[in-house]
Amino acid sequence: MLKLTLAKTLILSLFFVASLVSAHNDKQAFIDFMLPAIRKAQYQILAQRQLIEHYYQQCSKTKHLLPAQMARLNQLNVEYKLPTITRCSDSNWKILLRRIDIIPASLALAQAIHESGWGRSRFAQEGHNYFGQWCYEAGCGMVPFKRSAQARFEVRKFESVYQSVKHYMYNLNTHDAYLKLRIMRSTLRAHDSKSLGIQLAQALESYSQKKETYGVKITNIIEQNNLDEFEMRHRTLS
């Protein structure tokens, strides 16, 4: 009987260890899956930011942009929901640069983990939606099974994980609800602060009906999974 008990205990222990290893591998696989799309979106934003910084420096020196440069500047103004301009002096560089900046990978990964259940949710698997983004036109996405009869929102569908990441970052960079996050990010950048994801998580109360507790949850995910290691330490393309 003792031998059987020991053998059973050993088997259960091995099964438990195997389960932990499998869970760890599954989590790492999800991070490896999401990270390339996050990096691609970050570098696209950084390329835009670098261009705006170049235009700002040129305007500061010459008070003038070439017609093609002004056209490109206005394309970005429209894209980031700001007024178009005709002269260098009309541009609000501070607001534009505040909007054209990256979302830390640690924050993006933590929100994807939370919103998609490590990629296991129906919306992630059927619609590449990893961040719980909604839309409000009939047929624009997937209808949640538990949506109330009065609700009209749908969970948006995307063509790829990159499109989901890109839309998520664009939302945080342009929506009025996340102005606090953008101001905080700009201040932290100026002081070269570390652990940006953890600090910016505290400005996500508008992202969820859970308000302040949502930021605490995202912070815990970052810390428990050591997601800080994926933050970019520089805001340049080099």
Average pLDDT of the segment spanning 164-192: 94
Confidence of residue 116 (pLDDT cuts 50, 70, 90): very high
Confidence of residue 8 (pLDDT cuts 50, 70, 90): low
What is the pLDDT at residue 152?
75
- pTM, to two decimals: 0.85
What is the pLDDT at residue 14?
45
Give burial (CB, 10 Å; 0-12/13-18/19+) of 200. buried
Average pLDDT of the chain to the nearest whole number: 86
Which residues, listed in sequence order, are joined to residue 154 by a DSSP beta bridge?
135
Rounded to whole angstroms, the Cα distance separating 71 from 87 reads: 11
Centroid of chain to Cα 191:
21
Q: What is the residue type of 119?
A: G
Instruction: Catalogue all structural domains in the chain, each as residue range(s) with its CATH number.
Output: 37-101 (no CATH), 105-132+158-230 (1.10.530.10)
Q: Which residues of 147-157 are buried (b: 16+ CB within 10 A; e: fewer)?
A: eeeeeeebbbb
Q: What is the residue type of 202?
A: Q
Rounded to whole angstroms, the Cα distance separating 39 from 31 reads: 12
Confidence of residue 57 (pLDDT cuts 50, 70, 90): very high
- The secondary element (H helix, E strand) that includes residue 220 is helix 212-224
What is the pLDDT at residue 13?
42
Average pLDDT of the segment spanning 62-75: 95
Spell out the long-range contacts of 129-132 with Cβ–Cβ below 8 A and sequence spacing 24 or more.
129/155, 129/156, 129/157, 129/158, 129/164, 130/34, 130/161, 130/164, 130/165, 130/168, 131/164, 131/165, 131/167, 131/168
